[in-house]
Amino acid sequence: MNADKTRAVAVLGTGIMGAGMARSLLRAGIEVRAWNRTAARAEPLAASGARVEADAADAVRGADVVLTMLSDGRAVAAAMQAATPGLSEGQIWLQTSTVGLEPLPGLAEFAARHGLLLVDAPVSGTRQPAENGQLMVLAAGPQQVREPLAPVLDAIGAKTLWLGEDAASGTATRLKLVVNSWVLATTTAAAEAVALSEALGIDPMLFPRTIAGAVTDSPFLQMKVKAIAERNFEPNFSAEMAAKDARLITLAGEDAGVPLPMAAAIAERLARAVADGHGDKDMAATYLAGRPSDAA
Ligand SMILES: NC(=O)c1ccc[n+]([C@@H]2O[C@H](COP(=O)([O-])OP(=O)(O)OC[C@H]3O[C@@H](n4cnc5c(N)ncnc54)[C@H](OP(=O)(O)O)[C@@H]3O)[C@@H](O)[C@H]2O)c1
């Protein structure tokens, strides 16, 4: 397949990230066939020029690239199973969901069985970078896909970091787990800094103002402290997805034999926030875990 032959991308999963990535592809002039389990969530993409399909198999039929952006490994396997009648040998499978290490061998085996060229390609960045085509793509997959994938990666990302040729090795997913361990730790730190400020009778915004511009500062921390102080939990990355990633991180640590007590505490706190009914809110709602409902 040549670069100029990448005309059509099937996007399976049009949640927060998948919808933004589909719009970025369309802006770049790439044909998008969109499918989502809950069809109503894919339908708005038709107004941006996507062909919305009710059947995953119809979405992938004839597409050069199948892009999956679903919640977890189970969802990816279910969607690809549903898409099977439309798959064809030689298609590139750009698997961008964060699935962790455990499902990778099964996904690689599925790809091999159907002659798909699998790229393990988790992304860093959230709703706005997905909408703006500014994601950081962490990719591992065969050399031969790099050229045909270039227009797709350019459309969805600001940068692609190629980390090897074997998707099943999990190198890209390993790095994604490391990146998210920092993201979740910073969000939790922001939640606790706000909680401590409020408990000590300090305006919570004094903390980010105090460290602004210092080596301890970070734009992400500034953003999360502000959101929590203002009780703005509009989801960029939902607490439910963050709880899933926290579990994947603790599992990876356990499997590798490294104790990660902070990751375990973060996972427990996010699980509590989800159990308290905050799963659809932004992960910053970890602040609300175990708090009375008037805290929201
Ligand atoms: N949001 C972020 O900031 C961010 C950043 C980087 C990576 N990610 C990762 O990207 C993936 C998607 O995240 P998101 O924020 O876009 O989540 P989201 O808005 O919750 O979307 C999840 C998607 O998965 C689908 N899904 C869930 N279970 C399914 C199943 N059993 N079968 C078929 N489809 C299923 C949902 O379909 P329905 O609409 O039918 O429920 C929806 O399309 C996750 O792996 C997440 O960890 C997210």
70 CA distance to ligand 1 middle (Å): 4
Residue type at position 157: G
Considering the domain architecture, whether residues 165 and 178 belong to the same structural domain is answered as no
What's the number of domains the chain is made of? 2
198 CA distance to ligand 1 middle (Å): 33
Q: Is residue 3 part of a domain?
A: no
Query: By the 8 A CB rule, do 76 and 99 touch?
Result: yes
- Confidence (pLDDT) at 80: 98
Considering the domain architecture, whether residues 200 and 156 belong to the same structural domain is answered as no
Considering the domain architecture, whether residues 148 and 177 belong to the same structural domain is answered as no
For residue 14, give the ligand 1 atom closest to its CA. Answer: 43
Site to substitute for ligand 1 among 67, 71, 282, most atoms within 8 A of C-beta: 71
Q: What is the CATH number of the domain that holds 205?
A: 1.10.1040.10
13 CA distance to ligand 1 middle (Å): 7
Q: 95: Cβ below 6 Å to ligand 1?
A: no
Q: What residue numbers bound the domain in which 18 lies?
A: 8-169
CA-nearest residue, atom 10 of ligand 1: 97
Site to substitute for ligand 1 among 41, 55, 70, 97, most atoms within 8 A of C-beta: 70
Considering the domain architecture, whether residues 15 and 131 belong to the same structural domain is answered as yes
Considering the domain architecture, whether residues 78 and 138 belong to the same structural domain is answered as yes
Considering the domain architecture, whether residues 15 and 160 belong to the same structural domain is answered as yes
Q: Is residue 2 part of a domain?
A: no
Considering the domain architecture, whether residues 196 and 275 belong to the same structural domain is answered as yes
- Confidence (pLDDT) at 191: 98
Q: 69: Cβ below 6 Å to ligand 1?
A: yes
Quote the CA–CA distance of 212 and 214 in Å, as a whole number: 6
Site to substitute for ligand 1 among 52, 94, 241, most atoms within 8 A of C-beta: 241
Q: Is residue 106 part of a domain?
A: yes
Considering the domain architecture, whether residues 12 and 155 belong to the same structural domain is answered as yes
Q: For the chain, what is the largest distance between any 2 Cα atoms, rounded to a whole number of angstroms?
A: 63
CA-nearest residue, atom 23 of ligand 1: 70
Considering the domain architecture, whether residues 194 and 124 belong to the same structural domain is answered as no
CA-nearest residue, atom 25 of ligand 1: 70
CA-nearest residue, atom 15 of ligand 1: 16
Q: Which residues of 64-92 are buried (b: 16+ CB within 10 A; e: fewer)?
A: bbbbbbbbbbebbbebbebbeebbeeebb
Q: In tens digits, what is the pLDDT along the chain, a chain of 296 residues?
A: 444 567 999 999 999 999 999 999 999 999 999 999 999 999 999 999 999 999 999 999 999 999 999 999 999 999 999 999 999 999 999 999 999 999 999 999 999 999 999 999 999 999 999 999 999 999 999 999 999 999 999 999 999 999 999 999 999 999 999 999 999 999 999 999 999 999 999 999 999 999 999 999 999 999 999 999 999 999 999 999 999 999 999 999 999 999 999 999 999 999 999 999 999 999 999 999 998 876 66
- Confidence (pLDDT) at 29: 97
For residue 17, give the ligand 1 atom closest to its CA. Answer: 16
For residue 235, give the ligand 1 atom closest to its CA. Answer: 1
35 CA distance to ligand 1 middle (Å): 12
Q: Which of 137, 169, 201 is the last residue of a domain?
A: 169
For residue 240, give the ligand 1 atom closest to its CA. Answer: 20
Other CB atoms within 10 Å distance of the CB of residue 11: 33
Q: Is residue 218 part of a domain?
A: yes
Residue type at position 32: V
- Confidence (pLDDT) at 246: 98
Q: Is residue 271 part of a domain?
A: yes
141 CA distance to ligand 1 middle (Å): 22
Q: Is residue 17 part of a domain?
A: yes
- Confidence (pLDDT) at 2: 43
Q: Which of 169, 195, 213 is the last residue of a domain?
A: 169
Q: What is the CATH number of the domain that holds 120?
A: 3.40.50.720
Q: Which of 169, 186, 214 is the last residue of a domain?
A: 169
Q: Is residue 1 part of a domain?
A: no
Considering the domain architecture, whether residues 151 and 14 belong to the same structural domain is answered as yes
Considering the domain architecture, whether residues 14 and 134 belong to the same structural domain is answered as yes
Considering the domain architecture, whether residues 214 and 284 belong to the same structural domain is answered as yes
Q: Is 66 left (phi over 0), alpha (psi -120 to 50) or beta?
A: beta
- Confidence (pLDDT) at 4: 53
Q: Is residue 47 part of a domain?
A: yes
